[in-house]
Amino acid sequence: MARHFKEQDIAEFRDCFSLYARNDYVDSLETLMVIMRSLRTSPTPPELKLYMKNGKISFADFLEIMHTHTLKEKSSKDIQAAFRAADTHGRGVISYKELHHILSGWGERLTAKEVEQIFREAHLKPNAPVKYEDFIKVVTSPVPDYYY
């Protein structure tokens, strides 16, 4: 797995893993969640359960998990690039209505109710322009630990 990451990334992963891993392995969902979120990923509870299927995770296993998981997650850079492409005036903002249309009409379409919930959580106002950099930070930040 080392070939998939830069040496600097592997060192950061090892430091974080070593900080939380007891006896050089992780054996709980909670610990795995803390490590992965500390490394700026947002695994869901079902993903964590899948990753823990063997009960214990060594550092080598963890590198494999991080490789698989980072491929799944859209990076904020990719999302920013998509917003910049839609931002024809280069102002760094998008209208509330246009963002609602994009989220409910493109890709993995969200229902109006789901879009409104996201907008509430992001504290967006219907008549105000949306700074997409701020919006991206809100929607890509790890989810709260409601599940544990």
Hey, what are 123's tokens?
């504290």
Hey, what are 102's tokens?
């994009």
Nearest-5° Cα angle at 57, 52 to 61: 105
> pLDDT digits over 33-56, tens only?
999 999 988 888 889 999 999 899
Radius of gyration over every alpha carbon of the chain, rounded to an integer in angstroms: 18
CATH superfamily, domain 76-140, is EF-hand (1.10.238.10)
Percent of residues, the chain, with pLDDT higher than 90: 38
In the chain, where does the domain assigned CATH 1.10.238.10 lie? Answer: 2-72, 76-140
Which CATH architecture does the domain made up of 2-72 adopt?
Orthogonal Bundle (1.10)
> pLDDT digits over 107-134, tens only?
778 899 999 998 998 889 888 999 988 8
Helix (H, G, I), strand (E, B) or coil at 42: coil
Predicted pLDDT at 113: 93
Mean pLDDT of 59-82: 85
CB atoms within 10 A of CB 22: 9
